[in-house]
Amino acid sequence: MSQLEEILAYNEQFVKDESYRPYEAPNRPIKKMTIVSCMDCRLIELLPKALNLKNGDAIMLKSAGGMVESPYSNTMKSILVSLYELESEAVYIIGHTDCGMHGLTADKMINDIKNRGLDDQKFAEVTVDLKQWLTGFQSVENEVKKSVSIVKNHPLLPEHTPVIGLVMDPKTGELKQV
Ligand SMILES: [Zn+2]
């Protein structure tokens, strides 16, 4: 059975058994909070559990590193939508130690792309500065601070919105304020 077939078979049973019942929630975040965090697979369940969050409690935005890269990135747009359209009132930026974006250089990633056999010509079709776009960070604390600053200084951020920076241990779930 392929992975998709397995998922669909499981899904059919899930719905039939009404296993969704414990997850029913309103479509506005009950705890009025927006979380930006890393896509790291260890955080799927750990992060909400470690923050005492249940389905429906918060808006969760995920990306590589949990970075808010620029004031006009998709992540920043999502933050603004959560605050203006989805009744969220606070923003938490949560980085984590042992992150895949820590120390990632554009050169390494460009090399990895080339090693997959991608044609050099394909790079000519790229319209951004890859050296900048594909670069990770050297310090998670500094990266969280940078993201907090981008959100705090956004001209469209509602006045008095708390913007909080945290770093999580991906093994224990321990949070440290930045
Ligand atoms: Zn990460």
CA of 50 to the centre of ligand 1 (A): 16
CA of 43 to the centre of ligand 1 (A): 9
**Per-residue pLDDT tens digits for 100-149:** 999 999 999 999 999 999 988 899 999 999 999 999 999 999 999 999 99
Q: Spell out the domains of the chain, with CATH numbers in brackets.
A: 26-102+137-177 (3.40.1050.10)
Using a pLDDT cut of 90, give the percent of the chain over it: 97
**Per-residue pLDDT tens digits for 51-86:** 999 999 999 999 999 999 999 999 999 999 999 999
Q: What is the pLDDT of residue 119?
A: 87
CA of 3 to the centre of ligand 1 (A): 25
CA of 67 to the centre of ligand 1 (A): 9
Residue numbers in the known binding site are 38, 40, 96, 99
Contacts of 118 (CB under 8 A, 6+ apart): none
Residue numbers in the known binding site for Zn(2+) are 38, 40, 96, 99
- Residue from 80, 106, 98 nearest 38 by CA: 98
8 A C-beta contact, residue 94 and residue 167: yes
Residue 159: φ, ψ to 5°: -55, 145
- Residue from 40, 14, 158 nearest 99 by CA: 40
| Cα–Cα distance for residue pair 79/77, rounded to 1 Å | 5
CA of 18 to the centre of ligand 1 (A): 33
CA of 4 to the centre of ligand 1 (A): 26
